[in-house]
Amino acid sequence: MRKTKTALWILMAAALLAVVALLVGAVRGDLREGEPDRSLPAAEWPGEDFEFVSRLPVLYFSVEDESKLYPDWTWSPDGPLMPPREETRADLYLFDRDENRLTDNPVRLLEGASLCLRGRTSSYMQQKKPFLLELRDEYGNPEDLSLLGLAPDSDYVLHAPYIDRSLIRNYLAYTLGAQVLEYSPGCAFAEVFVNEAGQPVEQADYAGVYLVVEKIKASPFRVDVGDYRVAPEPERQFEDGGGYIFKRDTYAEGYDDVLRLGPTQRGREYSLVNPKADEANPAQVERLEEELQFFEDVLYEGSDEELERYFDTDSFVNFLLLNEFLKNMEGFSSSTYFYRQEGGKLKASPPWDFDIAMGNSDYLGDLSNADGFFVLAGEYVAPYLEHPAFVEKLKQRWKELRAEDGAFSEEKIDEMIDGLNLLLADAAGRNDAAYPELWTDTIFGNAEGYVIENSGQDREMIREFLRRRGSWLDQNIDSL
């Protein structure tokens, strides 16, 4: 009898423990068998009235010094003076299941990462701040990891759609770019929280919907150019020299810590991306400037055959058409990258920064109008259009891209926007509520007086803009 009672008490105790375990699991997240507990520290646990669930991945940053990410700005007669960009330690809790709550156990905890402010105009004019994320190992060294299914690396950009109220312009551009270019930055949407370590998470820590993007850099999984070197003989540089990345951008004192290349004989100036400014020696810089001058001379003075020999004209055609179709205000004049692989031709891409494309700007002419050539009418593109073979290739490629099942067809664009509307439905509503000024004010960069009620309306504006844009180009591409 005593044994029976003992067994009964054991069963009751086991049942009670099971109930407690279920309750704890409900509070501390659904721990799968063998999965370590990475839950938020107790001090950062959200209050009972904090309800949050997302179908998007969620990135929760517990940062050491949040003030470094939201610095104060000083002003001069010429405009804002950017404060020093300072990084802060950030422990990254990654939630990436069908439904994600901060009270769940995250799928990954990446401790000791680095987060810092990035961008020029966006970093001071936006309430929603863009960041640069570097993943690090336990010793503080950069660690190459895949984040949200993107190519493994230590560096990621957390793009903050704000001027782009639709949230999708860069996603559309990079996704379309991936279909026509050798490399276009991989990207994925996520909802982001930034919280001071040791403080309970609150609604104010919700930063909104972000686009996590592969940072443009030399890497086997990104722009694979290898290492740059100076060939023993200058005339052998094109065949024997190593690869590099450079870009055309706008420059302002106090903003840029890049190495400038040029100006060329025709006044063009570029900045070096790879090799990095602190890694390039004077001999390399001199030879790089010679190469850029060589390419410029071929472009302006060379024959169609020479252009084809030294330029990857397919990449230039696809890159130009991508920027023209999306009517990118900065296309080929700013945030424009070029690269050359070892012993290879000069290539245009990767695409970058389409916030004020697709009808979203009017301060360089009426870019909200879907009609008219813009990128192809610019001064930087004019010398390419002096090569008849290049122009013919441009026309034929446009027709291929717009054909049934072509990458730029109306059906493909509609399909992408429909899918994004479904993906972002709930998250976009939270982002809209977090930044109410977007729906009452004209935001810098946007067309004057263009006031909408929510991000969904802007996505539908993009759909209509690209329909009209594609139709106009169909009818006018042969006039080039």
Q: What would the pLDDT profile of 65-106 be if each residue is shown by its tens digit?
A: 999 998 877 666 766 666 778 999 999 999 999 999 999 999
Whether 20 has a pLDDT exceeding 50, the answer reads no
Confidence of residue 26 (pLDDT cuts 50, 70, 90): very low
Confidence of residue 361 (pLDDT cuts 50, 70, 90): confident
What single-letter amino acid sits at 377?
A
Confidence of residue 445 (pLDDT cuts 50, 70, 90): low
Whether 126 has a pLDDT exceeding 90, the answer reads no
pLDDT of 234 reads 65
For 99-116, letters b (16+ CB in 10 Å) and e give ebbbbbbbeebbebbbbe
The pair of structure tokens assigned to 125 is 């004019």
Whether 27 has a pLDDT exceeding 60, the answer reads no
The DSSP secondary structure of 208-265, one letter per residue, reads EEEEEEEPP-B-TTSB--------SSGGGHHHH---EEEEE----TTT--SEEE---T
Mean pLDDT of 373-400: 97
Whether 365 has a pLDDT exceeding 90, the answer reads no
Report the share of the chain in percent with pLDDT over 90.
68
The DSSP secondary structure of 390-454, one letter per residue, reads HHHHHHHHHHHHHSTT-TT-HHHHHHHHHHHHHHHHHHHHHHHHH-GGGGTSPPTTSPTT---SS
C-alpha distance across the termini of the chain, in Å: 99
pLDDT of 21 reads 40
pLDDT of 377 reads 95
Sign of the Cα pseudo-torsion (25, 31, 37, 43, in order): negative
Mean pLDDT of 341-363: 89
Mean pLDDT of 357-366: 74
Mean pLDDT of 199-221: 96
- Predicted TM-score (pTM) of the model is 0.90
pLDDT of 25 reads 42
| 108-117 and 88-95 beta bridge pairing | antiparallel
Residue 293 burial (C-beta neighbours within 10 Å; 0-12, 13-18, 19+): middle
Q: In angstroms, what CA-CA distances link 113 with 107, 136, 188, 285, 408?
A: 16, 5, 19, 32, 38
Enclosing H/E stretch for 207? strand 206-214
pLDDT of 91 reads 98
Lowest-confidence pick of 107-121, 191-205, 292-306: 107-121
Mean pLDDT of 129-142: 96
Whether 428 has a pLDDT exceeding 70, the answer reads yes
- Say how far apart CA 290 and CA 147 lie, in whole Å: 38
Confidence of residue 362 (pLDDT cuts 50, 70, 90): low
Mean pLDDT of 310-326: 98
Whether 1 has a pLDDT exceeding 60, the answer reads no
Lowest-confidence pick of 219-223, 357-361, 371-375: 357-361
What single-letter amino acid sits at 94?
L
- Say how far apart CA 133 and CA 92 lie, in whole Å: 10
Look-up of token digits 């008490």: 9
Phi, psi of 278 (to 5 degrees): -85, 0
The pair of structure tokens assigned to 232 is 């023993």
Phi, psi of 448 (to 5 degrees): -60, 130
Give the number of other Cβ atoms within 10 Å of residue 198's Cβ. 10
Residue 204 burial (C-beta neighbours within 10 Å; 0-12, 13-18, 19+): exposed
- Say how far apart CA 197 and CA 175 lie, in whole Å: 35
Q: Across-strand partners of 115? A: 88, 133
Mean pLDDT of 232-244: 71
Look-up of token digits 């001027």: 163
Helix axis angle for 313-325 and 169-180, nearest 10°, is 150
Whether 471 has a pLDDT exceeding 90, the answer reads yes
CA angle 354, 216, 380 (to 5 degrees): 55
Residue 267 burial (C-beta neighbours within 10 Å; 0-12, 13-18, 19+): exposed
Mean pLDDT of 130-155: 96
pLDDT of 226 reads 83
Mean pLDDT of 189-200: 97
Helix (H/G/I), strand (E/B), else coil: 95: strand
- Say how far apart CA 215 and CA 176 lie, in whole Å: 17
pLDDT of 254 reads 45
- Say how far apart CA 67 and CA 170 lie, in whole Å: 28
- Say how far apart CA 358 and CA 235 lie, in whole Å: 43
Q: In angstroms, what CA-CA distances link 7 with 14, 19, 20, 161, 411?
A: 10, 18, 20, 62, 68
- Say how far apart CA 115 and CA 134 lie, in whole Å: 7
- Say how far apart CA 290 and CA 130 lie, in whole Å: 35
Mean pLDDT of 8-25: 42
- Say how far apart CA 268 and CA 264 lie, in whole Å: 5
pLDDT of 131 reads 96
The pair of structure tokens assigned to 3 is 């044994």
Confidence of residue 214 (pLDDT cuts 50, 70, 90): very high
Residues contacting 401, CB < 8 A, separation 6+ = 180, 321, 325, 407, 408, 409
